[in-house]
Amino acid sequence: MAKKTNTRKTNTQAGPTIDRVAIVGMGYVGLPLALQFGRCGLNVVGLDIDPSKVNQINQGQSYIKHIRSDDIAALRKAKRFTASTDFSLVKKVGAVIICVPTPLNKNREPDISYITETGKSIAPYLHKGILIVLESTTYPGTTDEDLRAVLEAGSGLKAGIDFHLAFSPEREDPGNPDSKVAQIPKVVGGLTPACLEKASALYSRAIKTIVPVSSCRAAEATKILENTFRGINIALVNELKMVYGAMGIDIWEVIRAAKTKPFGFMAFYPGPGLGGHCIPIDPFYLTWKAREYGQNTRFIELAGEINTSMPDYVIGQLTAALNTRKKAVNGSKVLVLGLAYKPNVDDDRESPSYVLMEKLKNLGAEVCYYDPYVPVIRPTREHPHWAGTHSVAWGRETIQTCDAVLIATNHEAVNYQELADWATCIIDTRNAMAKVKTRPGQVWKA
């Protein structure tokens, strides 16, 4: 825990231990965090504007694949976890943790409206000594400028004097069985030393390692660095995929060999484009904010251009594969295999599969998809017209009627040997067919 360095007396000294916490946003970040706090003995209120999520939680049911209903039901039975749409419950808690989306708008600019609207919703119910922590990934300055202004205006209280304010970036890795909330080090930055101490004390109740930093902005910048690092390195291997492909060299073989080096190399893998709520978005939060300081982020923007161009490269490879069979994309039936943005999850946020489906449809292809974890497409901000579309059934008849199968996500639940036995043409963006017996010319890497 950070050492207290306050030089003046305020109303926001560390104070009593927090035993009741509200978490706003019961999604892929908020729900696992709520369960972890509940397991550690705290009473948790999950706040969300979606009544269906609230109802399912209160019935002990999970709506996220990798989160077990039994875990929710156990905490419900122990009376340590309840969900509600009533934000006035903030009056009864010692801390509020905000875990809401931070997307880009249609102009690819940061949209922090979910943060500010949450701030407006909880501000009337703040009380002296309460701790507010933002976990949503955003640009440096959001917590101590934007969120702080909304909270102070709506409550009449002052951050750092009447209530605590901090930022602690989420580090969820959905679908990774080795990723446990309690074991992932927690970066925490506070508006004041007392704010840092209060936030660190809360998280230390549920998380093994706390990493204090000097400010909210340093904590915000830490998360941006983590995801920008990944985005840039993925762009590098995506570019090398195209360069080496033109040379007749398999990028997957090269990466497999390179990662045997025990130092100075970290393996990243190419794909059909970036997906998820972090890597495709977070670097652009930094590029936008950097302009305010007269700084250019050319490296980040170039990486973004490469990654966002990947669907076009994939479509080009699919077109070439069909051409060898004297077929055009126009009029061909194409199955997109995998709608989720990563393997073994049901999370389809920012999935490149949607971009691929859109491009194929615009080229005149008949498009369908198969994903065992996304049986029907839910409404999305970016691709609302696909809502209600159902996954096709997995089977020989389905596969054999397709002119091409495009592997966009390599779920382990898929039988790739059956795919090889049934499909005539496979475009593989994930190296999923590497260990499968296939026929010459059947698989095209993209």
Per-residue pLDDT of the chain (446 residues; tens, 9 = 90+): 443 333 333 344 556 788 999 999 999 999 999 999 999 999 999 999 999 999 999 999 999 988 999 999 999 999 999 999 999 999 999 999 999 999 888 777 899 999 999 999 999 999 999 999 999 999 999 999 999 999 999 999 999 999 999 999 999 877 677 668 999 999 999 999 999 999 999 999 999 999 999 999 999 999 999 999 999 999 999 999 999 999 999 999 999 999 999 999 999 999 999 887 777 788 888 999 999 999 999 999 999 999 999 999 999 999 999 999 999 999 999 999 999 999 999 999 889 999 999 999 999 999 999 999 999 999 887 888 999 999 999 999 999 999 999 999 999 999 999 999 999 999 999 999 999 999 999 999 99
Task: Decide: 307 and 273 in contact? Cβ < 8 Å.
Answer: yes
* Model pLDDT, residue 11: 41
Residue 219 lies in a domain: no
The pLDDT assigned to 8 comes to 33
User: Are 139 and 242 within one domain?
Assistant: no
Domain that holds residue 92: 20-214
Residues contacting 385, CB < 8 A, separation 6+: none
Same domain, 129 and 267: no
Find the CATH number of the domain harbouring 371.
3.40.50.720
Q: Does one domain contain both 341 and 404?
A: yes
For the beta sheet containing 366-370, the strands, ordered from the edge strand earlier in sequence to the opposite edge, are: 366-370, 333-337, 404-407, 426-428, 443-445
- Residues 65 and 179 placed together within one structural domain of the fold: yes
Residue ending a domain, among 305, 328, 361, is: 305
Instruction: Among 184, 214, 244, give the residue marking a domain's end.
Output: 214
Tokens of 132: 């507010």
Asked if residue 320 and residue 298 are part of one domain, the reply reads no
Which of 117, 159, 155 is closest to 25 using CA atoms? 117
Does residue 88 form part of some domain? yes
Residues 232 and 210 in one domain: no
How is residue 146 annotated by DSSP? I
As a dihedral over the C-alpha atoms of residue 167, residue 210, residue 76, residue 117, rounded to 10 degrees, the angle is 0
Q: Let me know if residue 13 belongs to a domain.
A: no
Gap between the Cα atoms of 126 and 327, Å rounded: 64
Do 174 and 347 touch, CB atoms closer than 8 A?
A: yes
Examine residue 15 and state whether it is found in any structural domain, yes or no: no
Identify the H or E element spanning 123: none
CA distance 135 to 205: 17
CA angle at 264 for the pair 263 and 268, rounded to the nearest 5°: 105
Contact, 352 vs 271, CB < 8 A? yes
- The values of phi and psi at residue 122, to 5°, are -95, -20
Residue where a domain stops, chosen among 190, 214, 238: 214
Element (H, E) at 231: helix 216-246
Query: Same domain for 151 and 91?
Result: yes
Q: How many structural domains compose the chain?
A: 3
Tokens encoding 337: 């295999």
Q: How far apart are CA 425 and CA 410, in angstroms?
A: 17
Told to judge if 195 belongs to the known catalytic residues of this protein, a careful annotator would answer no
Residues 319 and 379 in one domain: yes
Q: Catalytic residue, from 99, 195, 216, 278: name it.
A: 278
Residue 109 placed within a domain: yes
**What is the reported pLDDT for 277?**
72
End-to-end CA distance of the chain: 48
**Angle ∠(26,28,30) on CA atoms, nearest 5:** 40
* Structural domain includes residue 314: yes
Inter-residue contact 163 to 128 (CB < 8 Å): yes
β partners of residue 98: 24, 134
Q: Tell me: do 63 and 162 sit in the same domain.
A: yes
